[in-house]
Amino acid sequence: MKLPKLILASILASGLSALTTQQAYALNLPICELPVNCLTFGDFNVYSLPLLDLQAGGDGVPKPGDSFYAPATYGAIQNNTIIGINNGNSTQTGNPSTTTDGSFNTPSQNNTTNQIFSTATAPDPNGGPAIGDGRSWDSTVGALQTLIGGANNPLVAFFAFNETGSGTGLLTTDLLIWAKVTLYDYTETGDILNSKSFYLSGNGSTDTPDETHLPDTANATQDTVGPWVYVHAGICVSDAGQFVGFPTNGVCASGTVKNQNNLGQNAAAFAINSPDLDTAMQSGDYNVFSLDWKMAYINGGGETAWFMPAGVDAQCPPGSTDPICLPINVPEPLSLSLLGIGLLGLGASRRFIKPRRA
């Protein structure tokens, strides 16, 4: 007996729905391939979103509708979890006051690079768990996982680069940044049973930068600034859109072009993720998230940092037991649709890359 076309279509649609349960993200980061599309500093992979836009066929300035566009204005991100923003202390939807801190106020003085920002010395925002308050941005792990869309989702931080000027160097549009995330297992009485830290650092060390003796700005490079991460306003790329290095005195080498990371408050410049931090947060071994964050040589400023739901592609080698790599079981009643689904997906059946999902 032949099934009516409408029933067959319904079965096929149901089967496809069952096999495509991965969460849809507004932005999905590719696998980190050093140094093609990202750089690694300590425990974190750092992506230049303008570079990813260029490599995806764009003009290097992410815009609404582009794959790597993340709006950075307060109106666009107020319902996300804001760590720091000019005129901070927001406790909007993305910063529920009982479980996460509000946002730190990032400085925005123009025509000076003497401003230093540190969660250790800046006025602490209201709210959040009492643990760690006064020197860090804090949240319960459960609340943060809910705010990024689910306990199995990757934690992706976004950073809007908002310096004034047109040159390069720490006295113009470049700056220094450093961060440490510590996960704690706290008891109800405040005792620490366990902790683990993850560093965004320039030399891979666990050292804390000295805010009173900053690196010399003359001929500064990543090799000379110690634990700080040197954040470049511009990068150099080939005609094919491949990252080849950083400008020297504002100029890229012959045969390459300069691409701008300093997008202001129009869009996020960088996305940051640590697979190891994701694994630790998803282990269930920790209940408090604490972030220490520092910036130096800020010029203009008003930099913004926030968390929002995003995807990160994961490499899935044969035999992987990572939950994000395991096939999705299809209920037996849908078996009639498998042939059609198999034909539709034949071209992609041998790929081993799947986006992280809830």
Report CA dihedral (214, 215, 220, 225) to the nearest 10 degrees: -110
Please indicate whether residue 271 or residue 91 has the higher confidence score (pLDDT): 271
> In this structure, how many other beta carbons lie within 10 angstroms of the beta carbon of residue 152?
15
Burial of 308 (0-12, 13-18, 19+ CB in 10 A): buried
Backbone angles phi, psi at 239, to 5 degrees: -60, -25
- pTM exceeding the 0.75 threshold for the entire prediction: yes
Tell me the two tokens of residue 56.
Answer: 């995806």
Secondary structure of residue 125 in the 3-state scheme: coil
**For the segment 37-94, what is each residue's pLDDT rounded down to a tens digit?**
999 999 999 999 999 999 999 999 999 999 999 999 988 998 999 999 987 666 556 8
CA-CA distances (angstroms) from residue 77 to 84, 90, 158?
Answer: 12, 11, 11
Q: pLDDT band at residue 344, thresholds of 50, 70 and 90?
A: very low
Q: How far apart are alpha carbons 268 and 13 in whole angstroms?
A: 36
The H or E element containing residue 116 is: strand 115-118
> In this structure, how many other beta carbons lie within 10 angstroms of the beta carbon of residue 297?
27
Specify the pLDDT at position 24.
57
**For the segment 150-167, what is each residue's pLDDT rounded down to a tens digit?**
999 999 999 999 887 767
For residue 231, pLDDT over 60 is answered with yes
Please indicate whether residue 260 or residue 134 has the higher confidence score (pLDDT): 260
